[in-house]
Amino acid sequence: MKKLGTIIVLSGPSGVGKSTLVGRVRQAMPELGFSISCTTRKPRPGEQHGVHYYFLEPEEFERRVAAGEFVEHAQVFANRYGTLKCEVLDQIRRGSSVVLDIDVQGAMQIRAAAANDPELARATVFVFIGPPSVAVLERRLRGRASDSEEQIRLRLEGARRELACWNKYDYLVINDDLDVAAEEMTGLFRSFALRTAAIPEDLFHE
């Protein structure tokens, strides 16, 4: 049976532990695909082009926007980010599921695009990762010693804006205890292979 892979659109505010959780799920599900985004931000120490992001100059990013190469793109803080169609569509057509770690603006663009695109509508699910409370999130953000007070204030403001959108998603995972959240998320992602929307309509034809 030829299944369509699932596009797992994953969002959550800065400081919620998204990267750590995604790392845990990757260990448990090595078959899961990940979309490498394009960004105009500069690489942080240890980040590699083509592994963590495709790091592009702003002009190259704009050229790709104009060429219609992105499923979605958005400005997050001072930088541009975008998901390439080719990163996602080839994988799901081959039957692999793919995770998109993107912000709320980008996720909502994909929701809107899916309203006019039946393949995208069949393929996408929306998962939000939340903190146990705003106070806990603030404590976690302040725990990152590398950030200045101004950076913390900006991140908190952004986090509050993102948190307000949790109910626009299909699923909510709360990252209180990391082990519990990782287990919940792995179980959730595994269940996506059983979605009827992913199964060809002619399944039971004679």
Min dist CB 162 to ligand 5GP, Å, is 8
| Nearest-angstrom CA–CA distance, 119 and 71 | 13
Min dist CB 11 to ligand 5GP, Å, is 6
Residue 98 CB neighbours (<10 A): 22
Nearer to ligand 5GP, 5 or 82 (CB): 82
Nearer to ligand 5GP, 55 or 193 (CB): 55
The set of residues, in sequence order, having a beta carbon less than 8 Å from that of 131 and lying 6+ positions away, is 13, 15, 16, 137, 140, 163, 174, 175, 176
User: In the Cβ-directed half-sphere of 86, how many Cα atoms lie within 13 Å?
Assistant: 5
Contact positions toward ligand 5GP, by CB under 6 A? 37, 41, 72, 74, 76, 81-83, 101-103, 105-106
The single residue listed with the structure tokens 């309203």 is 115
Nearer to ligand 5GP, 1 or 67 (CB): 67
Min dist CB 145 to ligand 5GP, Å, is 17
Burial 34-49 (b: 16+ CB within 10 A, else e): ebebbbbeeeeeeeee
Min dist CB 201 to ligand 5GP, Å, is 31
The residue sitting closest to ligand 5GP, measured at its beta carbon, is 106
Nearer to ligand 5GP, 37 or 91 (CB): 37
Min dist CB 88 to ligand 5GP, Å, is 10
Nearer to ligand 5GP, 47 or 170 (CB): 47
Q: Which amino acid is at 4?
A: L
| Nearest-angstrom CA–CA distance, 141 and 2 | 44
